[in-house]
Chains A and B, each alone.
Chain A
Amino acid sequence: MDFEPKILGFLCNWCSYAGADLAGVSRMQYPPNIRVIRVMCSGRIDPQFIFEALRVGADGVIVLGCHLGDCHYLEGNYEAEKKFDMVKRFLKLINFDNRVRLDWVSASEGARYAQVITEFTDHIKALGPSPIGGDNPDKKILNNLKAIEDAASGDRMRALVGRERKITEQENVYGEQVDLEKFNKVFDSAIVEEYQRHRILVSLEEDTKSIKSLAAELEIDPSVVLEHIVCLKSRGQIDFGEFMGITPMFFKM
């Protein structure tokens, strides 16, 4: 039997949802795999929605909004773009960024809607079933996904995403515009750090572990794990357990 992917779509009410309706009014045919969740604005789409969808086994997730500049709420889609950008960056870290897509469909683009959905469905079909869907999900990817979901919902990432446009395109609290390069540097290191830290926390949920075993699991240098451990300890999220010989074990609080 052919693989029939489960695809979730988040559509904004005013443009893409209307575009989808227009496709229907115009009887344009496209594959039946998509299930649409309507939101008033693409800016509403919390990165966590996307991670959650993937985690529960969606084979693909597509977010559609108004074209840039056309947002019913003035700038909601710009916000959506920033959030989605973060989602992509996070997913890239775990090599899982090819099952999500952001695009723009206006209320008059019924044909385009059908085309976008068809393309995306074909793309997902070609990729095959999600490794974390079905009865036998890949535990490692699931853990990774859980980590990025937690990381993305943390204060640090939210603060950065939430302020990005204001401080890089307009001005920050000092009346200065922050250089995009500087911001991206901060942003990228925050993504990597927060992912790795939450990945450590996810891993410690299973058992107490040593720095070296965490390092092997995360495929990063033990000295980097140690740095994260210091930070997580100061946040009160983990603590020292027993020593196994000369090696300290850590547990999640």
Chain B
Amino acid sequence: MEKVGAVMVVGAGIGGSQSALDLGDSGYKVYLIESTTSIGGVMAQLDKTFPTNDCAMCIVSPKLVETGRHQNIDLSINCEILNVSGEAGNFTVKVKKNSLYINPDICTGCGVCGRNCPVEAIDLFNEGLARYHATSVKYPQAVPLVYAINKEYCIGCGVCAGVCKAKAVEYDRDDEIVDINVGAIILAPGFDEFVPQAANKYGYGKFKNVVTSIEFERILSASGPYAGKVLRPSDGDIPEKVAFLQCIGSRDYTGEGQPYCSSVCCMYTAKEAVIAHEHQHEVKPTIFSMDIRAYGKDFDKYIIKAQEEYGVRYIRSRISSVTEIPETKDLRLRYETEDGKVIEEDFNMVVLSVGLNPPNDAKYLAEKFGIELNEYSFAKTDIFNPVQTTKAGIFACGAFSQPKDIPETVTQASAAAGCVNQLLYEKRGTLITEKSLPPEIFVAGQPPRIGVFICHCGINIGGYVDVPEVTRYAKTLPNVVMSDRNLYTCSADTQGIIKEKIEEFHLNRVIVASCTPRTHEPLFQETIREAGLNRYLFQMANIRDQCSWVHMKQPEQATQKAKDLVRMAVNKARQIAPIDRIKLPVTKKALVIGGGITGMVAALNFASQQIDTYLVEREAELGGFAKYIYHTLEGGDVQAYLKDLINQVKSNKFINVYTNAELEELNGYIGNFKSTVIYGEKNERAEFDHGVVVVATGANEYKPKEYLYGQNENVILQSEFEEMLNTDSIIKNKKSVVMIQCVGSRNEEHPYCSKMCCAEAIKNALLVKKINPSTEVTILFRDIRTYGFKEKYYRKAREEGIIFIRYDENSPPEISTENSSLNVNVNSVKAGNLSIPADLLVLSAGIVASHEDNEELAKMLKVPLNDDNFYLEAHVKLRPVDFATEGVFVAGLAHCPKTIEDSISQANAAVSRACTILSKDEIEAEGKTAVIDVARCIGCGMCVENCAYNAIELIEDRRFGLVASINQALCKGCGACSGNCRCSAIDILGFTAEQIYAMITGRL
């Protein structure tokens, strides 16, 4: 069957949206199918995100807006999958688009229908804490901003049709069934949270002040029901003592919940506790948990900060029941401390940190798409490639395959897109249409002829602002040659009117006074461009979101303000000029630095798309860290996988491998890099051009100075132990093996978790038991961090008699030697001082990054490192494999400690991100960039330091000496340089000082 250059993405949360954006940007037609009525998923419900406490909505909404507007993404909401046929490269999916009863093409999202709906129904987005109406959007920032009628609650009164000025309500609108032909499918349906049953021991649903963590998230949210105030539902008071109970529905073998660890709860709970205290200082949070699983990048630091700066109290205990004190509605918890004391304590509110379940329709989806589910009903995926389902051409990303956090989801989303690239790269660009535009009208030097279009927005503006008056007023302003008002300026017919007016009045500047440029500027810019005007000859005045809606009771003042805003826009419009977006060629070749698994996977992905790839490895052999790993905890044969990879890489004609190689020089910028490599035993030199860089330089195992390592031959590292277990049978002679966790991790020198060591220790311990069941294995730990499905092996280890003893960070185990035998003395938190004889002491050494090596490369690439010397990505949540410097990507251990599977995902993700560049013949830079007046520049270099994108460098100018020079390709137009320039030598196109002054004087 012929392959198809289109992809279906099922589920439009942050994962699905990322996949869609990557693929849309890489030249594929994307069908993004969402079951609810807006995109954004769970992330859009969150208040803040860990570990940076970024506002979730602030960071996600630009992505959602981009997804909603992307010309290659066809977004359908309120959909169901009916049937799937075909095979990898060519699937046909029958999709039912359930009617919204509101025409999404006409609906402007003004919300009049919702406000007039007499049927108030529970609102899902606020998790039942607030009421919304049968006609509603899920939340105010929803994308697409289209209202939908919830037929379940609607009584069909017809009020909404009456009040809708846009005539968008169509009660007879039918469901639509369509067949969509695609080459690949990405499943990103996310998860459903665990809901405690009504008759549960925590009193959820029975006691008002027991809420789930996702409900608490809405309580914290500024756009939530309580406007961000932390209040308890029983009486609206601030709860001073809040208890967070972890592992609700997770690590649960009673059958009520799930046996696996939900991975994210430890962190989101810490975050909710911190944010609650931040919002309301009266709140004193207490977190009850078994282990604290803060295994991700910078997570441990966050936990420490929560405890030390926010006074979050951690108690290691699992609460068995909650009772309510009827008079106060407070809640009484009974718990046992680690040392065995039973304590009763009252709290004002209890938050249940509920786990992540597979999506409720997982079985339905699996059946329709013909993929298998695992034992927990999550999507079953390949042991080494976590985005590959059991069916070729169908990929899974995000929480559908295992509970995971946002950056891991985004990584997998890009990884899935990376795998789609491998499958469909030949069909790139076949199903997308480039819009043909008329040549731009030459307007430079001509006097401004401004047209102003003022929007009534139904009654949203017109009901409060005297629009006819503002329209008359606009006409009186200098250079305004016409002004007009429209019921909805954004409607399709008005776009036609705008184009006609541009022609009729020879307009060369256009102003729309309506809603917000954040959502609507691109639409109007497109319209004037279609009429032949440069996109930047456009201005917007926000007279709805920031005027009519906020001054509803003061119509006169609102009208005056609208006039002022229009006048300011006119003043600016008189100053604006066309801006050209420069176009840069792209060298369609890739450089991958590092020849471990990560680097090789990335190189092979590039190569499979026939992209010439240079793979640079410092050592003589490819393989990296994986050379010392035999199996994964889950049983994957690493050595066989590695051997296969190496063979593939060596035999691939698109990959040029340089071993014993060092990068000597790297210059250039996105799409246009030039590198020099010194390689081989003879120090040969190679030079090549490339368009992107993937940093996959890995990390090292910590070499302990503690616990007699290197001094006593019976003290070995976990990696050495693994080799021993896999290559000889010496273990049969050992009676007792003791393992110490967190050696070189989570301490002052390395204040982070190395993520893999718990799994490694349990893997090797289980192998010991398999080889010789009589060997005693004791694991000394601080927290056992077998997150996700790895929990199964922790459980198994306990069942097999492996002994786990927790020690406190402040009293680490001590080693004594007597003759040749070792004794491990440990202060068990539970059992007091213990002395354990050990034939072998195995140290779970952490992962460390080399400061010297990484800093050198980081400087060359102009990318940052974090405090722990790992590479720092552009954004820890939403751009996990990108750097702020465009065209450069990071993957694998270089980014932070992670598993092989995660490294492979990152490698494929980096390729996908890179393909958004390499798939294009040329890239268009942002037009609104900084420009330098070299005559004024004194070459002080401050702007070079201010630039977050490394877009400025100092160059020698023939006439003016040392001056700053801006690389238009890298500049994002933020203006940080301009605001600091001492000689006013830098200006920002589109926001020039002159334009801003014009607005200021227009205001006064």
Contacts and interface: CB of A to CB of B under 8 A. Distances in A.
Interface of A: 155-157, 159-160, 162-163, 166-167, 171-174, 176, 178, 182-183, 186, 190, 193, 210-212, 215, 221-223, 225-227, 229-231, 233-234, 236, 240, 243, 246-248
A223 B128 CA distance: 13
Given A172-B157, A210-B236, A226-B233, 16 more contacts: A155-B118, A156-B120, A157-B118, A159-B116, A160-B157, A173-B156, A174-B151, A186-B118, A193-B120, A212-B235, A221-B234, A226-B235, A229-B236, A234-B130, A246-B237, A248-B236
A230 B156 contact: no
B234 A230 contact: no
A247 B238 contact: yes
Interface in B229-277: 229, 231, 233-240
A248 B234 contact: no
A229 B233 CA distance: 11
A212 B236 CA distance: 8
A210 to B, nearest CB: 8
A231 B118 CA distance: 13
B234 A223 contact: yes
A227 B131 contact: yes
Given A163-B158, A230-B226, A234-B130, A173 B236 contact: no
B208 to A, nearest CB: 5
Contact of A190 (B118, B151, B225, B552): B118
Contact of B225 (A171, A174, A178, A230): A230
Interface in B118-133: 118-120, 129-131
Interface string B198-229: 00000000001000000000000000011101
Contacts of A248: 229, 231, 236-238
25 contacts: A159-B157, A162-B157, A163-B157, A167-B155, A167-B157, A171-B156, A172-B156, A172-B158, A174-B172, A178-B156, A182-B155, A190-B120, A193-B120, A212-B236, A222-B235, A222-B236, A223-B234, A223-B235, A223-B236, A226-B231, A227-B130, A229-B236, A231-B131, A246-B282, A248-B237
Contacts of A167: 155-157
Contact of B233 (A162, A210, A212, A223): A223
Interface of B: 116, 118-120, 129-131, 151, 155-159, 161, 171-172, 208, 225-227, 229, 231, 233-240, 282, 552
Contact of A176 (B156, B225, B237): B156
B137 to A, nearest CB: 13
A85 to B, nearest CB: 16
A221 B233 CA distance: 11
A155 to B, nearest CB: 6
Contacts of B239: 246
Interface of A is mostly: helix
B161 A173 contact: yes
A186 B156 contact: no
A231 B151 CA distance: 22
Given A163-B158, A172-B157, A230-B225, A247 B208 contact: no
Contacts of B231: 226, 248
Contacts of A155: 116, 118
Nearest to A189: B120
Contact of A247 (B118, B226, B237): B237
Nearest to A155: B116
B880 to A, nearest CB: 36
A176 B161 CA distance: 16
Contacts of A233: 227
A33 B759 CA distance: 90
Nearest to B240: A246
A225 B226 CA distance: 13
A233 B231 CA distance: 15
B129 A230 contact: yes
Contacts of A243: 238
A216 to B, nearest CB: 11
Nearest to A183: B155
B233 A186 contact: no
Given A160-B157, A178-B156, A240-B227, A186 B119 contact: yes
A227 B235 CA distance: 10
Contacts of B130: 227, 230-231, 234
B235 A215 contact: yes
A156 to B, nearest CB: 4
Nearest to A182: B155
- Top 5 nearest A-B pairs (CB, nearest first) are A172-B156, A211-B236, A222-B235, A163-B157, A159-B118
A183 B130 CA distance: 22
Contacts of B120: 156, 190, 193, 231
B726 to A, nearest CB: 60
Contacts of A226: 231, 233-236
B233 A163 contact: no
